[in-house]
Structure 1
Amino acid sequence: MAHLSEAILVTDTHQRVTQYLGQAERLYGWPADHVIGRALSDLPRTYPEGDGDLFMARMAAAEEARVVMRCQRQDGTCVDLDVVVTPLRDQSGAFIGWLSVARDVTQRLELQQQLRAAHGQLADMAFGADDGYWDWHLPSGQVSRDRRWAEMLGYRHDELPPDAAVWIDLLHPDDATTAMPALEAHLQGRTPRYESEHRLRHRNGHWVWVHDRGKIVQRDATGAPVRLAGAHTDTTARKVMEHTLRERESELRAALASNEALVADLRAALDRVKTLSALLPLCMHCRRVRDDAGYWAQIEEYLALHTETSFSHGICPECLKAHYPEYPQPGAGP
């Protein structure tokens, strides 16, 4: 387990350490022979106010628990550890001890504290617990990054040199044309803060979308920027979803356009069907029309069936005179 960056501890039901693995000696700062067989509570440690009681209560109930604790090493230095403990059970389900996994978050907490202490200048910027924090000292070009910043791109924290050239090297060439001007605009005082959404190259070769933002948090006596601090958030999942939705929208628009064209064609065909342009058999005596099935029908019935024509019935003057002589004729006097 030497390749692990975490400290792995196994304890019994009384929290006595039975296994001290991974980076346990380096992170906790105590040799194995001093720790194994002793209770974890023997190691000097402190908890944020209120968190320790909740952590111990969950452990007392044999439930999974998580806490950030500050531990004092044998040499007197302190380390902040993000500790997750999981209850261990045998095949029958009986509780037999604890598995503890601890990660060093000292630098991360220091960076967060620096950001909070930067004269409140970052108060209007929303940062999340899963963000990767950075702090750039402009005169030296040195950049402090927390562990999450590196992990987001597939690296161990100690693999990335602490300089600004790392970001430039990882930045997607197509995004440099927007990210770099956004950074320059803020450094030159033309924008209240730096903000950019761009791609950074993952260690495995694929691209990770990040929402990067920061602010100048320190200036020298002349007003020139000295420190720029901020964080970036992994937005790859959102970008993939946006791309998928755009593709789906294009497909739907194409389908809609195709359907609209089909409807237009059908309407045109229907209009053609409803337009009479053929020679109709018409009885010279009764004026009825023979339809396609060989039946004779009144002409108005035929037209109503095969066209959109509608009729209102009336009587012409000649028929009125011939068939209804008792009715007054149009134009006749009283």
Structure 2
Amino acid sequence: MMKWIRRLFFKSPVITGLVVFLLSFGTGLYLTLKEYQLELIEEKENVENIAELIEDRIAKIISSANSAVNILAYLVRTDRLDQNFREVGRSIIDNIDIIDQIQVLDSGEIVATYPLVGNEMVIGYDILKDPYRREEAIMAIEQRELYFAGPFELKQGGKGIVGRLPLYKNGVFEGFTAIIIDWYKFQDQVLFGYQPNSEYTIDILKIDPINKDISSLLNSNFSQSGGPITELVIPSGNWIIKVQLDNSNAFISIIPNTLFRLISSILLGFLIFKLAEQPYRLSKQVEETTKELLLSNQRFELATKATSEIIWDWDMEKDYTYRSENFERLLGYSQEESFNNDKFWKSIIHPEDYNEVESNLKKALDSSAEKWSQEFRVKKSDGQYLFIVDKGLIIRNKKGKAIRMIGSTQDITARKKAETDLADQRQRLTNVIEGTGAGTWEWNVQTGETQYNETWANIIGYTLEELAPLSIQTWIDFAHPEDLEQSNQELEKCFRGETESYESECRMKHKDGRWVWVLDRGKVFSWTKDGKPLMMFGTHVDITEKKLREEEIKRTNLQLQSANEELKSFASVASHDMKEPLRMISSFLQLLEKKYENVLDEKGIQYIRFAVDGSKRLSQLIDDMMEYAQIGFDPSKLSKVDLNSVVEEVIQLKQKVIEENNAIVEVSPLPDILGIRSPIKSVFINLISNALKYQKKNVQPVVKIYSTKEGSDYRITVEDNGIGIDKEYYQKIFNIFKRLHTKDEYPGTGIGLAICKKVVSQHGGKIWLDSEPGKGSTFHFLLRAYDDQTY
């Protein structure tokens, strides 16, 4: 057989050359096919990497938004929204610059927004009444997690996306906490570095919540003849990321190698043909050429195992390094600059990374390791640095010595930037927590493992190092024994699902021996498969000063109550003791008038009547002073007061005076307010009495009573057409005993309006008037509206 082949080789050089050409070109075509497949895989991976990078950027934005809405949700659940909304809103927007606005919604109605300036028009807007907004809001409620709606035109102007987190209390939906992100800012951050004029076409598609149609948000045009295309779904906003390589270069990239192999095969066939003519002279050259071809084949077969952008082959024995064409595209250096130049590669490694890279590479080569991998920075030809991951497969000889390494280099700059940005966002959140002065704890309920931050230890005067080792027992050891039972009861309620979160006020032993009060709050965020609590997170807030103030207030209130009781008792006794002689004086003066009526002249009778009238006025003054002194306010007695029934009672009480003055009293429907009925009634008595008293002569008195809503309060108005009051007396008339007229002109003690001011002030409101002499007076006062949901 061998003789026949040898004979064929020498006798038929044309056939021999043709067979060699076909075998060589066939092998070359196989390698070209593999290269083409590798190029397609690489292009597909690049498209997928870009889609995943965009997905990561969106995930980072969603993570930041999730932190913000959970902070708001925490404030809502702990009823601290009114106290901290503006401060927390400012902190969130300052620290998370992607967020432009935060909102809190009661059911579907927007009740709070920050910043308020420029966004006032959204207050009161109900998204559940808007068909389009409603669908996406319902999706957030159904998913029970943060869900992004939009983009759409905002009511306050601009275009944005809205992330809403549904709020539940005891399993019942109550509303949302929400953040708003400007759509163009969102688009800039998500597509940074790729749009426009990049080699990729990128679009974000939106699934319509109503008809499920898919629409383009960036109006990108995708080519039917373009390169690889991929899609990723973002369920948090019903978005689809779509990325396509505009033009595939896979086929073009293999043309040079294909031509090279064709020409090489032709040359090889021709060479074999010549060798058949001159076998002895060219046999050694044929052997070397075949060896080089096999080596080339081996190189390409190993290269297919690499998955990164740059393929390289380092022959340590020959001190030769091959790098693929992507090396020049990625770093900007020509092949001539890097080939056979050991110093070149060392020169482009970042100085801060060089020692570590060299040390780890040496350890890998000197050991029996089969692979090497390292992340570090390298300098591009323009002076900028890239983060890369370098991976290599180490080939060793029979003695175990490394003789060759084949591997790949991948650009991971985008990933590193995303990791850095995420770390920055986490640091901002940490700053927010530290800025509030709260200690934090993380508790594995099943194992007892617990982590605390430094503030938690500082509250009781220690450092974490001093308290080590840390566990749930650390909390138990420092908690007051009398408070542990209550805390455990609250924890059990939370574990059984009776409460959404845990909250307890308790004392802890300070390092200096005193007890400090802390507000302990937490929530279970994960459960075991059998429904047991697993991970619980919470905070400790030092409320010692608050507790001390509460105790001081209690002591002060007790002292005030005691003093008020003594004052009331004294006033009652004093009133009785003062009125008794007055009654005696008045009675005896009236008896004198009757007995000596025929003896006394007109002057004497007039003097007696002056004395009797003065006695009566003094008695009325004592009664008014008693009423003013005994006005008290007990918040526990606050309840719903129907002002319609109160005014009706006052009108019945004053019916005789109304009829005597032929007065008209017009009462519009009045609201329910939160207050104490009896003092409120005295306000209307005094205002209506004054309106009937201070009337112009020969003019029918008209009194109007009506109300208007102002935020959470009602403004109650009592308007008359009487003599009016000069502006300089607007404030003075509310002072006790302040009168603007003589007793002969208009009787009275000057205490009525002082009583009105005291009652309204005790109810947390204010009273004022608008008036002009000769045109009547209008008294206004504010009272808190009654709300079934908040009281």
1:241 counterpart SS class: helix
RMSD across aligned C-alpha pairs, in angstroms?
Answer: 4.3
Deviation string for 1:7-48 (max 9, x for gaps)? xxxxxxxxxxxxxxxxxxxxxxxxxxxxxxxxxxxxxx9663
SS in 1 for 2:375: strand
| Separation in structure 1 between the aligned mates of residue 400 and residue 33 of structure 2, nearest angstrom | 37
Aligned in 2, Cα 1:112/1:179: closer, same or farther, shift over 3 Å? farther
Show the counterpart of 1:95: none
Deviation at 1:251, TM superposition (A): 0.9
Picking from 243, 263, 267, the partner of 1:76 is 263
Residue 226 of structure 1 aligns with which residue? Answer: 403
Please give the residue correspondences for 1:197-208 in structure 2 after superposition, counting only pairs within 5 Å: 197-208=375-386
Q: How big is each residue's C-alpha offset from its partner over 1:59-96, in whole Å with a ceiling of 9 and x where there is no partner? A: xx993565234433699337xxxxxxxxxxxxxxxxxx
CA contact (8 A) 2:370 2:394 kept: no
Question: Does the CA-based 8 Å contact 1:111-1:133 persist in structure 2?
Answer: no
Query: Conserved in 2, the CA contact under 8 Å of 1:134 and 1:146?
Result: yes
* Cα distance change of structure 1 residues 74 and 182 upon mapping to structure 2, 3 Å threshold: closer
**Separation (CA, whole Å) in 1 of partners of 2:402 and 2:261:** 40
Write the distance in 1 (CA, Å) between the matches of 2:384 and 2:260: 39
Amino acid in the other structure paired with 1:137: D
Deviation at 1:250, TM superposition (A): 0.6
Listed as ranges, the matches of 1:82-97 within 5 Å are none
Counterpart amino acid of 2:332?
G
Deviation at 1:267, TM superposition (A): 4.3
Query: Which structure 1 residue ranges, 4+ long, deviate > 6 Å from structure 2?
Result: 262-266
CA distance in 2 between counterparts of 1:160 and 1:203 reads 12
Q: Is 1:182 matched with 2:360?
A: yes
3-state SS in 2 of match to 1:165 = helix
Structure 1 runs not aligned, ≥5 long:
1-44, 56-60, 79-109, 288-292, 303-334
Cα offset, 1:205, TM superposition: 0.9
Q: Quote the residue 2:427 is aligned against.
A: 250
TM-score (norm 2): 0.23
C-alpha distance after superposition, 1:87-138 (max 9, x if no partner): xxxxxxxxxxxxxxxxxxxxxxx989526449xxx96xxx32x521111121
Report the 3-state secondary structure (helix = DSSP H, G, I; strand = E; otherwise coil) of the residue aligned with 1:77: helix
- The match for 1:63 is 225
Offset of 1:237 from its aligned partner? Answer: 0.6
Q: 2:335 aligned with 1:157, yes or no?
A: yes
What SS does the corresponding residue of 1:249 show, helix, strand or coil? Answer: helix
After TM superposition, list the pairs within 5 Å mapping 1:304-319 onto structure 2: none
Matched, 1:114 2:293: no
Do the aligned residues in 1 keep the contact of 2:568 with 2:630 (CA within 8 Å)?
no
Contact 1:217–1:228 under 8 Å retained in 2: yes
3-state SS in 1 of match to 2:565: coil
Q: Cα gap change, 1:268/1:152 in structure 2, threshold over 3 Å: closer, same or farther?
A: same
CA deviation profile, 1:291-312 (whole Å, cap 9, x unmatched): xx974468x969xxxxxxxxxx
Matched position secondary structure for 2:33: coil
| TM-score, normalised via structure 1 length | 0.50
- Deviation of 1:162 after TM superposition, in Å, equals 2.5
Q: Is the 8 A contact 1:178 1:196 kept in 2?
A: no
The question of whether the paired residues in 2 share the 8 Å contact of 1:136 and 1:164 is answered with: no
State the partner residue of 2:592: none
Shift of 1:181: 1.6
Secondary structure at 2:390's aligned position in 1?
strand
Classify 1:294/1:140 alpha carbon distance in 2 versus 1 (closer, same or farther; 3 Å).
Answer: farther
How far apart are the structure 2 equivalents of 1:187 and 1:62? Answer: 48
Mapped pair 1:48 → 2:14: no
8 Å contact from structure 2 (residues 369, 394) kept in 1: no
Alpha-carbon distance in structure 1 between the residues aligned to 2:543 and 2:297: 67
Distance 1:115 1:165, change over 3 A: farther
For 1:254, the aligned partner's letter is: N
Distance 1:185 1:257 in 2: 43
Residues of 2 paired with 1:116 and 1:74: CA distance? Answer: 16
Aligned to 1:192: 370
CA contact (8 A) 1:213 1:230 kept: yes
Contact 2:312 / 2:323 at 8 angstroms: preserved in 1?
A: yes
1:237 alignment counterpart = 414
- Measure the CA separation in 2 of the matches of 1:211 and 1:155: 18
Partners of 1:111 and 1:271 in 2: how far apart? 82
- Deviations 1:164-215, CA, capped at 9 Å, x for gaps: 3221111111112321121111111253321110011111111111101112
Instruction: Identify which of structures 1 and 2 has the higher relative contact order when contacts are C-alpha pairs closer than 8 Å and 6+ apart.
Output: 1
Cα distance in 2 for partners of 1:295, 1:283 equals: 12
Partner of 2:523: none
Partners of 1:179 and 1:208 in 2: CA distance: 15
Higher relative helix content: 2
**Structure-2 separation of matches of 1:149 and 1:239:** 20
- The 2-side partners of 1:165 and 1:174 are apart by 17
Where 2:370 maps in the other structure, the secondary structure is coil
Partner of 1:168, secondary structure, is: helix
Q: Is the 8 A contact 1:134 1:229 kept in 2?
A: yes
Q: Which runs of 5+ in 2 are unaligned?
A: 1-27, 41-222, 227-247, 266-294, 440-518, 520-539, 570-628, 638-791
- In structure 2, relative to structure 1, the CA distance for the partners of 1:242 and 1:222 (3 Å cut) is same
Cα distance between partner residues in 2 of 1:151 and 1:111: 23
Per-residue Cα deviation, 1:243-290 (whole angstroms, up to 9, x for no partner):
111111111101122134499889456434422243422424989xxx
> 1:230 is matched by which residue type in structure 2?
G
Partner-residue secondary structure (3-state), 2:333: coil
Contact 2:368 2:400 in 1 (8 A): no
Rg larger for:
2
Does structure 1 residue 283 correspond to structure 2 residue 565?
Answer: yes
Secondary structure, aligned partner of 1:76: helix
Give distance in 2, aligned partners of 1:271 and 1:181: 60
Looking at structure 1, the residues matched to 422 and 362 of structure 2 have their Cα atoms a distance apart, in angstroms, of 33
**Which AA in structure 1 matches 2:354?**
A
From 541, 546, 550, the equivalent of 1:274 is 550
Match of 1:215 in 2: 393
State whether residues 371 and 394 of structure 2, in contact with CA within 8 Å, keep that contact through their aligned partners in structure 1.
yes
- Match of 2:263, SS state, is coil
Which letter does structure 2 place at the counterpart of 1:48? L
Measure the CA separation in 1 of the matches of 2:379 and 2:327. Answer: 13
Q: Which residue matches 1:134? A: 312
